[in-house]
Amino acid sequence: MSVPLHAVCLRSQRVCRRSVAAAVSQCFRHRDASVSHFSHSAGLSAQTCKALVYRTHGDPSRVVQLEGVELPSLGAKDVLVKVLAAPINPSDINMIQGTYAILPDLPAVGGNEGVAQVVEVGSQVKSLKTGDWVIPKDAGLGTWRTQAVLPEEDVISVPNDIPLVSAATLGVNPCTAFRMLSDFEDLKPGDCVIQNAANSGVGQAVIQIAAARGINTINVIRDRPEFTELSDKLKAIGASHVIKEEALRKHEIKELFKTCPKPKLALNGVGGKSATELLRHLQIGGSMVTYGGMSKQPVTVPVSALIFKDVKVRGFWVTQWKRDHSHDGRAFRAMLDELCSLIKQGKLTAPACTEVGLQQYHAALDTAMQPFISTKQVLVM
């Protein structure tokens, strides 16, 4: 059975990176059912890899299966890569469930993020060489697999002397944090940012990047038995203040603002009442940027915040940013270089990760879907 992995058709935008539907249909009818055939070129080799494939949307633990996948022959502008590690992100789960903003044609391979090592390069490849580490430039590449043949233009190199999990988790959360801290307000050392979901992957990246820039962070997390332990952990990576959500409505927040300026920027990954409370504490003219909605509740904006404080309410999706800048890779390259520099300096570390072998994918998917999970599941090939 066949699945063209990297040639993803995005239903929501009706955009195909390659015309593959006919080829997929042919592969399903005429190929050995024990092997899937991922192809973006006419010729197929006998080389195969293992991949986590889903043929229908639904519960990931039920619809995802580990299968053999046939690799296409190497084209002149292609690279053969060995996938080293790939995380399981909420967006990956949502894509399998069929609830994400972009969905690949089915069948498909899971995973939008990860790091791979170049094993072989085509005769016309110029930017990459054997041994280089690469990450996807865009979502939909299908990283939950052991190997892939990919167009040179679909990946970008990263240093191979940074920690494996840092490289594998570099393309989504740190990039999201970097852009939100850079693109919405002119933040200077001494300024303040407030965020909910501070223990998330994005939240931890925000803390560390902000600290490296001399920016204060007020970090809001839900109350829990291990609150003090978690607070200490976030402060150890650079958090200026860590408070419970209830504190946003109590006198202690006023006490905090006696020693800390009101935030110019609020980062919302939760939605609902939590987002409304962030808005209340923005300084006049400040911005709230929403990048997630873990509560699955709408963002309510008080009229008074718009009229009397002139707050700006924005949204951010790193996938769209990457596509908007795909015509000129310099901005993406510069961002990755700065993030990798922070990693090398020990100023940006990956969130707590649990490395899981590909064969144990069922357990990893089940764990990734649990509420209040404290570690990110990373598939190691």
Give the pLDDT confidence of 120-159 residue by residue, as tens digits: 999 999 999 999 999 999 998 999 999 999 999 999 999 9
User: Could you check whether 48-162+351-380 and 173-320 share the same CATH topology?
Assistant: no
> What is the pLDDT averaged over residues 53-70?
96
pTM for this prediction: 0.87
Distances (CA, A) of 74 to 26, 125, 144, 263: 21, 11, 20, 52
**Gap between the Cα atoms of 68 and 350, Å rounded:** 31
Which residue ranges make up each domain of the chain? 48-162+351-380, 173-320
CA atoms within 13 A on the CB side of 128: 32
User: CA gyration radius for the chain?
Assistant: 22
Catalytic residue, chosen from 54, 100, 291, 361, is 100
Query: Does residue 361 carry a catalytic annotation?
Result: no
| 241-244 and 216-221 beta bridge pairing | parallel
Cα-based torsion angle of the residue sequence 86, 87, 92, 96 in order, rounded to the nearest 10 degrees: 70
**CATH T-level topology, domain 173-320:** Rossmann fold (3.40.50)
**Gap between the Cα atoms of 248 and 219, Å rounded:** 11
Written as six digits, the tokens of 143 are 């990283």
Average pLDDT, the chain: 88
Residue 324 is predicted with a pLDDT of 95
Could you tell me which CATH number the domain at 48-162+351-380 has?
Answer: 3.90.180.10
Beta bridge partners of 85: 115, 380
Question: Which residues 6+ apart lie within 8 Å of 101 measured at CB?
Answer: 12, 317, 319
165-188: per-residue pLDDT in tens? 999 999 999 999 999 999 999 999
72-128: per-residue pLDDT in tens? 999 999 999 999 999 999 999 999 999 999 999 999 999 999 999 999 999 999 999
- Least Cα distance to 208 among 172, 237, 240, 228 occurs for 237
257-305: per-residue pLDDT in tens? 988 999 999 999 999 999 999 999 999 999 999 999 888 899 999 999 9
Residue 255 is predicted with a pLDDT of 87
**Gap between the Cα atoms of 192 and 119, Å rounded:** 45
